[in-house]
Chain A
Amino acid sequence: MFTRRRFAASLAAIPLLAAPAVLRAAPQSPPRLRFGVAMAGLGGRPYSLGSVVAVVHVQGLLEKEFAADGTSIEWQFFAGAGPAVNEALANNALDFAWQGDLPEIVARSRGLGTKQLFVAGNRSPVFVVAAKDSSINSLADLKGKTVANFQGTNLQLSVDRILQTAGLTEQDLQIVNLDQVTAVQAVAEHQIDASFVQLGVPPHAENLLKVIFHSGPAQPTLTPQASVITTEAFSIAYPQAVDRVVRVSLQAAHWAAQPQNRDALYAIFAKTGYPLPYIQKIFDPLSPLVGSSPLWDPFQLAQLNRSTADAYKFGLIRTPVDTSQWIDQGPLDRALAALGLQSYWPKFAPDGVTRVG
């Protein structure tokens, strides 16, 4: 029988029914979303190049996505690259970060709680340059020479791997820690003998330098990997927001993969202050489809595992890192399904060359 008392109780229960929805809705949109980028443009310009993150940033995609939620999007660009991003992560100053494999591994080995979301940058070429009139003509000639490397950034793993191909280690060289712009300048002025360079040789020094090594497309295992990570704390508090960030990023990756958008993409990269011809020279030889792939395909998985093993082997971390619980495949899978892009990007075997899907 529907008594008055029961009716009153039912009335009282109505807000309770709505409560879970309110509780669920509240954490879906964080008050702010802080995105750290392990790169800055020339002279510290707040822009990056080479990955989908530049597109998401310049096109204001996160700002649009979260406009209705009142979430403020805060971008930070770190000229100090990965190591500086790690310091910010440790200080709870970031929710998402784009950086290279080595700093991510270093942070994880130190116990920083992060989740790997999607790949954002792979196969970016690494060069070794020396002064044009130098007697250095091969990797083997580097022995005993003063060579620049941006220590602790994801370039360092490539450096150690490349040296290994010539039977050398960092100890066989006089490694000097310099950022890329300074390093190239120093080589051109004969202050140091050679430098490792990521992406490409800056145009202003091109005539003064010769390339003695180039990690060509045949050796993708020598190249660094970059990805977007989130903090464990943020992914637990705002799982929906993580899904939305990944989905928006994949839309941008899809856009960047299309050849007809190439000029627009370069214009975005050029906001870093690097001249357009330089950007064209770096990215024209690279496949936009492969370069924009967010997938943890067998190659990227193997590469992350190799990087963690190498980081330990080369003495860059003191505690081994386990990658098995690190990658959070969920947001990526859901975004691929939502956008119908499951089979859009090619998949590669662990060697990075053989296509498997």
Chain B
Amino acid sequence: MSQAVNIVLDRRQSKVRAPSLRLGALRGVVAPLVLLALWQFISARGLVSSLVLPSPVQVLVALRGLAESGLLASSIAISLRRLFLGYALGVAIGLPLGVLLAASSLARKLIGPSFYATARVPLLAWVPFLMVIFGIGEVLKLFIIAKAVLTPVTMNTERAIAAIPAGWRELGRMYRLSAFTSARRILLPATILPVFVGLRFGLIQAWSVLIVVELLASTRGLGFQLTMARQLFQLDTMMALMLVIGVIGFVLDRGLALAERVLVRQYGGGA
């Protein structure tokens, strides 16, 4: 077992030494490699019972078992569906709300204080209250995810619009640009990046909240399988699921980061 891991480690190390990789990428893998080595060392020496801390190889075997049973694919599909529904709901409310707060001083006075006050209450503190209202079904999950998305999206949108220099608007007026043109030429380029940062942050928030929500009371999905694995004392499966959750979160974030870079090239500015 430990040999297999050493091979894995060796491979990774040789990759790291490959001259084609830049120094920056190399630094990124140091911490995971050290942790992996430490993990393997602890389990190989039996410092912690393998029942409590399964070895990396055991976790990989469990991961393969999950994948082969089809449970992994179906759980990921269910969790992602929840994520995107909740996310869409949060963005659908958050974007217009942010625009409204930025554009109308009346809205700012009427809704602003309530919005910021509710945003300050940690999400988990909302859960018992939302449970009473929405029950423990699918609606609860969507609302909690939407709520997690709403706050960063609204705040970033509002700030992005408010931060447009007054001179830019003046320019638009000077050139007598139509509302559409000024939105396309001034509003969009000036705000798209900060708004996008809000959307990206919202997605990451949504992902972490989704797993918490699925741990609470759920019938399917990655968080539910995580609980099941713990209840049935399959900590290797549990850690395999944690790995999957981490990788999906990473991929989601990288995907949006990539999109962000494209936007930077398109509209300039730096975020």
Within 8 A of B (CB), among A107-128: 107, 110-112
Interface 9-residue window, one of A23-31, A42-50, A186-194, A284-292: A186-194
A 208-237 to B, binary, CB cutoff 8 A, 1 in contact else 0: 000000000000000000000000000000
Interface 9-residue window, one of B149-157, B173-181, B230-238: B230-238
Contact of B230 among A83, A107, A153 (CB under 8 A): A83
Contact of A152 among B51, B224, B232 (CB under 8 A): B232
Per the bound structure, the CA–CA distance linking A141 and B227 in Å amounts to 27
* Minimum distance in angstroms from B152 CB to a CB of chain A: 30
Contact of B135 among A111, A178, A191, A316 (CB under 8 A): A191
* Minimum distance in angstroms from B217 CB to a CB of chain A: 6
**Cβ contacts under 8 Å, B227 to chain A:** 151, 177
The answer to whether A313 has its CB under 8 Å from any CB of chain B is no
Are A152 and B219 in contact, CB atoms less than 8 angstroms apart? Answer: no
Contact of A316 among B51, B224, B232 (CB under 8 A): B232
Per the bound structure, the CA–CA distance linking A68 and B43 in Å amounts to 41
The answer to whether A301 has its CB under 8 Å from any CB of chain B is no
The answer to whether A86 has its CB under 8 Å from any CB of chain B is yes
**Cβ contacts under 8 Å, B220 to chain A:** 174
**Cβ contacts under 8 Å, A178 to chain B:** 136, 217
Are B136 and A110 in contact, CB atoms less than 8 angstroms apart? Answer: no
Are A112 and B51 in contact, CB atoms less than 8 angstroms apart? Answer: yes
Within 8 A of A (CB), among B185-235: 217-220, 224, 227-228, 230-234
Main secondary structure of the interface of A (DSSP, over half): loop
The answer to whether A52 has its CB under 8 Å from any CB of chain B is no
B 54-92 to A, binary, CB cutoff 8 A, 1 in contact else 0: 000000000001000000000000000000000000000
**Cβ contacts under 8 Å, B224 to chain A:** 177
Are A177 and B228 in contact, CB atoms less than 8 angstroms apart? Answer: yes
A 320-345 to B, binary, CB cutoff 8 A, 1 in contact else 0: 00000000000000000000000000
The chain A residue sitting closest to B220, CB to CB, is A174
B interface, size bucket:
20 to 34
**Cβ contacts under 8 Å, B232 to chain A:** 83, 106, 151-152, 316-317
Are A90 and B136 in contact, CB atoms less than 8 angstroms apart? Answer: no
The answer to whether A318 has its CB under 8 Å from any CB of chain B is yes
The answer to whether B246 has its CB under 8 Å from any CB of chain A is no
**Cβ contacts under 8 Å, A86 to chain B:** 233
Are A176 and B218 in contact, CB atoms less than 8 angstroms apart? Answer: yes
Within 8 A of B (CB), among A262-319: 316-318
Are A152 and B228 in contact, CB atoms less than 8 angstroms apart? Answer: yes
Are B233 and A175 in contact, CB atoms less than 8 angstroms apart? Answer: no
**Cβ contacts under 8 Å, A103 to chain B:** 233
Within 8 A of B (CB), among A94-109: 103, 106-107
**Cβ contacts under 8 Å, B219 to chain A:** 146, 174-176
Contact of B52 among A90, A107, A151, A174 (CB under 8 A): A90
The chain A residue sitting closest to B229, CB to CB, is A152
Per the bound structure, the CA–CA distance linking A107 and B49 in Å amounts to 13
The chain B residue sitting closest to A109, CB to CB, is B233
The answer to whether B255 has its CB under 8 Å from any CB of chain A is no
The answer to whether A260 has its CB under 8 Å from any CB of chain B is no
The answer to whether B137 has its CB under 8 Å from any CB of chain A is yes
Main secondary structure of the interface of B (DSSP, over half): loop
Per the bound structure, the CA–CA distance linking A299 and B135 in Å amounts to 42
A 161-196 to B, binary, CB cutoff 8 A, 1 in contact else 0: 000000000000011111000000010011110000
The chain A residue sitting closest to B69, CB to CB, is A315
B 27-52 to A, binary, CB cutoff 8 A, 1 in contact else 0: 00000000000000000000001111
**Cβ contacts under 8 Å, B136 to chain A:** 176, 178, 186, 191-192
**Cβ contacts under 8 Å, A189 to chain B:** 135
The chain B residue sitting closest to A103, CB to CB, is B233
The chain A residue sitting closest to B132, CB to CB, is A189
The answer to whether A91 has its CB under 8 Å from any CB of chain B is yes
Per the bound structure, the CA–CA distance linking A151 and B224 in Å amounts to 11
Per the bound structure, the CA–CA distance linking A264 and B230 in Å amounts to 38
Are A146 and B49 in contact, CB atoms less than 8 angstroms apart? Answer: no
**Cβ contacts under 8 Å, A174 to chain B:** 219-220
Contact of B49 among A90, A106, A191 (CB under 8 A): A90
Are A177 and B217 in contact, CB atoms less than 8 angstroms apart? Answer: yes
**Cβ contacts under 8 Å, A176 to chain B:** 136, 217-219
Of A86, A87, A110, A190, the most chain B CB neighbours within 10 A belong to A110
Per the bound structure, the CA–CA distance linking A153 and B51 in Å amounts to 18
* Minimum distance in angstroms from B218 CB to a CB of chain A: 7
Per the bound structure, the CA–CA distance linking A51 and B182 in Å amounts to 77
Of A87, A107, A177, the most chain B CB neighbours within 10 A belong to A177
Are B233 and A191 in contact, CB atoms less than 8 angstroms apart? Answer: no
Are B231 and A177 in contact, CB atoms less than 8 angstroms apart? Answer: yes
* Minimum distance in angstroms from B75 CB to a CB of chain A: 14
**Cβ contacts under 8 Å, A191 to chain B:** 135-137
* Minimum distance in angstroms from B235 CB to a CB of chain A: 9
Are A107 and B233 in contact, CB atoms less than 8 angstroms apart? Answer: yes
Of A146, A152, A175, A192, the most chain B CB neighbours within 10 A belong to A152
- A-B residue pairs, 9 tightest by C-beta: A152-B231, A191-B135, A90-B51, A174-B219, A83-B231, A151-B231, A106-B233, A86-B233, A176-B219
Task: Pick 10 A–B contacts, CB within 8 A, sort by A.
Answer: A90-B49, A92-B49, A106-B233, A111-B51, A146-B137, A174-B219, A176-B218, A177-B217, A178-B217, A191-B136
Beyond the given pairs A178-B136, A192-B136, 12 more chain A to chain B contacts, judged by CB atoms under 8 angstroms and listed by A's residue number, are A90-B49, A90-B51, A90-B52, A110-B51, A152-B228, A152-B230, A152-B233, A177-B218, A177-B224, A177-B228, A186-B136, A192-B137
Which A positions have Cβ atoms within 8 angstroms of B? 83, 86-87, 90-92, 103, 106-107, 110-112, 146, 151-153, 174-178, 186, 189-192, 316-318
